[in-house]
Amino acid sequence: MCGIVAYVGHRKASDVIIKGLKRLEYRGYDSAGIALLNGGLNIYKKKGKVSELENFIQGQNLDSHIGIGHTRWATHGEPSDENAHPHYSATKKLAIIHNGIIENYSSLKQDLLRKGHQFASETDTEVFIHFIEDIQEKENCPLDEAVRLALTKVVGAYAIVVMSLAEPDLLIAARKGSPLVVGVGKNEFFMASDATPIIEYTNEVVYLNDQEIAVINHGELKIKNTANLPLTPYIQTIDLELEAIEKGGYEHFMLKEIFEQPRSIRDCMRGRLDTHTGRLVLGGLREYVNKLVNADRILIVACGTSWHAGLVAEYFFEEFCRIPVEVEYASEFRYRNPVIREGDVVIAVSQSGETADTLAAIEMAKAKGAIIFGVCNVVGSSIPRATHAGAYTHAGPEIGVASTKAFTAQLTVLNMIALIVAQKKGTITEQKFHELLVEMENIPAKVEQVLKLNNQIQTIADEFKQARNFIYLGRGYNFPVALEGALKLKEISYIHAEGYPAAEMKHGPIALIDEEMPVVFIATKDASYEKVVSNIQEVKARKGRVISIVTEGDTLIPKMSEFVIEVPATLDPLMPMVSVIPLQLLSYHIAVMRGCNVDQPRNLAKSVTVE
């Protein structure tokens, strides 16, 4: 997490950087800072949001053509003015911004303390810039060489940018494990954690790879690696519209992204699924698709909402491909020496493509010989680059920290992969295949229909906005939806919520049910409908307050529920894409009514690039 932005060129650097930091605020928002060359190397930083920093610097003379800025999500040291980035070196002639963790900072710090260094913060980052300067003084070398030497000695993950008082046209950036994009403009350069602060000025970018160092000096970009090998910058043109990263009239990004789902699901299927010809293709899979067809087992690794998408995919793959599937939390998988055999295929699911645990799980499985597929949203991010093959979700930038449109797009891609495999494997009838294809095409319209219930859901939210707990229950394909509904609520409204398989409720959560407990049933007409009806009775018998998501036309469950939300019918395996929508809206409205910052919930970050 943490967002970094840097600029050198003919514009006022502070304007470019502050605007860029606001775009990156989803990556972290507990403090922010900026360093400029305006009559000296000056750092301005503040605890809180970028707007606090903006107020703080207002009215000051900030004229500088070069600068670096940072928005922080604390790892080492609590959020405070001191711990905010940028950080100075010992002589205050260098400044750094950093995203990531330097794991061996403590031993480096001990050495520096012995040499008499004093530190103004508790951060690993400040140690890092002192260490770079120490090397430069010792080796009497150019700054880029000192940075390179320092990087060969640090352990951990980083994306850094360094600037210097002595060299007013120099920016040095490097990455390992944390993303960094260089924007190449006309006589100007930008650097950022992702392309969103850059696209307003240029769509020509260079994605740095791990262990690469970018040196921008006197209007020239050079790239080398930490082994000192010069590399040719690979400039790509990115296709990202400014309006995709703006709120477009909605009060929050989250609401905009919920409402974008009919479009994002369509975009995800565009050119890939065609019911007229019965054609389903995913270009990125072609070369490796037989690995999936012949897989003995599929391991899905992911975190958070992406993990929930993986759980839905488990049901889908097992039903139609008849391949055993295990869905793993990337953070657990990577550390428990899992059994990975020849014939196992790993699918990594990630919106950002930068989640540190998912990335590490991929590397570990790759080292054990597994073939890895990626299902990611952010084009050019680290995970797609680390996998053998994969498919993008094409949902467009997701800025709200709570994931919504990425989830439905992930389901769309995972379903398409499973259908391709099932067809090739012969584990699905042509009729069923076609039926699913046609219904996939109908999903965006059905999502649109659910979005029309926004006002009704707002009324329900009003009724429950003061609740202290919530339970979400579902079975079969709707069980992961229950988990996702509960996660959305806790993430943004800070109400404690549990998602559970409806039948498993009897083995514990039922003890929590009393007349104050809202219980959300995802109770659409599917294979487990009758069973869910019994589970609703169990809750009612204990006076729980039942809110049910039902299939249009259901007459039984509405009689047993205090509130009912009707969604259009669809095939069971596709229902999660429809039934999750009211749950996204319910959490959104509850959070807004509670005065929570839905786009930037406390303690969370959009992409967790530290483990």
Distance in angstroms (rounded) separating the CA atoms of residues 570 and 552 = 10
- Choose between 404 and 570: whose C-beta lies nearer to ligand G6P: 404
Q: Which residues of 352-379 are buried (b: 16+ CB within 10 A; e: fewer)?
A: bbbbbbbbbbbebbbeeebbbbbbbbbb
Q: With binding defined as CB under 6 A, does residue 488 bind ligand G6P?
A: no
Per CB under 6 A, 164 contacts ligand G6P: no
Q: For ligand G6P, give the closer residue by CB, 49 or 475.
A: 49
Q: How many Cβ atoms sit within 10 Å of the Cβ of residue 249? A: 6
Closest CB 2 distance from ligand G6P, rounded Å? 14
Residue of the chain from 178, 358, 570, 609 that contacts ligand G6P (CB under 6 A): 358
Only segment of 118-126, 396-404, 413-421, 532-540 that touches ligand G6P (CB under 6 A): 396-404
The reply on whether position 351 binds ligand G6P by CB under 6 A is yes
Q: Of residues 226-255, which lie at the interface with ligand G6P (CB under 6 A)?
A: none
Sheet of strand 496-501: strand arrangement: 496-501, 469-474, 518-522, 545-551, 563-567
Q: How far is CA 66 from CA 2, 36, 197, 506, in A?
A: 20, 6, 15, 62
| 387 phi-psi bin (left φ>0, alpha ψ -120 to 50, beta other) | beta
124-139 vs 105-114: helix axis angle to the nearest 10? 50
Report which of 394, 360, 390, 389 is spatially closest to residue 379, judged by C-alpha positions.
394
Minimum distance between the CB of residue 609 and ligand G6P, rounded to whole angstroms?
A: 9
Token look-up 């080398």 returns 224
Residue 604 binds to ligand G6P (criterion: CB under 6 A): yes
Stretch that binds ligand G6P, among 23-31, 267-275, 397-405, 520-528 (CB under 6 A): 397-405
The least distance separating ligand G6P from the CB of residue 376, rounded to whole angstroms, comes to 8
Among 164, 350, 478, 551, contact with ligand G6P (rule: CB under 6 A): 350
Residue 561 phi, psi dihedral angles, 5° rounding: -120, 150
Whether the link from the prior residue into 179 is cis, omega within 30° of 0, is no
Residue with smaller CB distance to ligand G6P, 32 or 383? 383
Please state at what angle helix 304-321 crosses helix 405-425, rounded to 10 degrees.
Answer: 20
How many beta carbons lie within 10 A of that of residue 326, not counting itself? 15
Q: Please report how close the Cβ of residue 97 comes to ligand G6P at its closest, in angstroms.
A: 22
Q: How far is the CB of 355 from ligand G6P (least distance, A)?
A: 3
Which pair of structure tokens corresponds to residue 368?
Answer: 């054990």
Using the rule CB under 6 A, which residue among 125, 136, 178, 352 binds ligand G6P? 352
83 or 306: whose CB is closer to ligand G6P?
A: 306
> Given candidates 31, 355, 551, 587, which one binds ligand G6P under the rule CB under 6 A?
355
Based on the shown chain and the rule CB under 6 A, indicate whether residue 584 belongs to the binding site for ligand G6P: no
Cα 592 to Cα 22, 251, 462, 492, 600: the distances in Å are: 21, 10, 10, 9, 12
Residue 520 Cβ, how far from ligand G6P at the closest point, in Å?
Answer: 20
Shortest reach from residue 372's CB to ligand G6P, in Å: 14
Residue 313 contacts residue 325 (beta carbons within 8 Å): yes
Tokens coding 563? 């509130």
Q: Residue with the closest Cβ to ligand G6P?
A: 304
DSSP-assigned beta bridge partners for residue 212: 175, 225
Q: Is 247 a catalytic residue?
A: no
- When asked if residue 264 is in the footprint of ligand G6P (CB under 6 A), the reply is no
Are 183 and 189 within 8 A, CB to CB? yes
Diameter over CA atoms, the chain: 81
From 109, 176, 446, 606, the catalytic residue: 606
* CB of 591 vs ligand G6P, minimal distance in Å: 14
Binding of ligand G6P at residue 130 (CB under 6 A)?
Answer: no
- Which residue, 38 or 306, has its beta carbon nearer to ligand G6P? 306
268: annotated active-site residue: no
One-letter amino acid identity for 108?
L
- Closest contact distance (angstroms) between CB of 414 and ligand G6P is 13
Q: Quote the CA–CA distance of 180 and 5 in Å, as a whole number.
A: 9
Taking the complex as a whole, the smallest distance from the CB of residue 412 to ligand G6P amounts, in Å, to 15
Binding mask 288-327 for ligand G6P (x = CB under 6 A): ---------------xxxx---------------------
Q: Considering the complex, state which of residue 303 and residue 447 has its C-beta at the smaller distance from ligand G6P.
A: 303
Q: Which span (13-21, 84-92, 198-206, 345-353) binds ligand G6P, by CB under 6 A?
A: 345-353
CB nearer ligand G6P, residue 536 or residue 583 = 583
Figure out which of the listed residues 83, 99, 123, 403 binds ligand G6P, where binding follows CB under 6 A.
403
Contacts with ligand G6P by CB under 6 A: the residue count is 16
| Residue 606 near ligand G6P by CB under 6 A | yes
Please count the residues of the chain.
611
Query: Which of 573, 608, 609, 610 is close enough to bind ligand G6P by CB under 6 A?
Result: 608
Residues 6 or more apart whose Cβ sits within 8 Å of residue 333: 299, 301, 361, 364, 365
Applying CB under 6 A, among 401, 414, 549, 564 the residue interacting with ligand G6P is 401
> DSSP characters for 449-483?
HHHTTHHHHHHHHHHHTT-SEEEEEE-GGGHHHHH
- Binders of ligand G6P in range 419-478 (CB under 6 A): none
Q: Residue 394: helix, strand or coil by DSSP?
A: coil
Where do runs of H (alpha helix) occur along 342-478?
356-367, 382-386, 405-425, 430-451, 454-464
Q: Which member of 2, 268, 321, 596 is catalytic? A: 2
Active-site residue numbers?
Answer: 2, 606
Residues that bind ligand G6P (CB under 6 A): 303-306, 350-352, 355, 358, 401-403, 604, 606-608
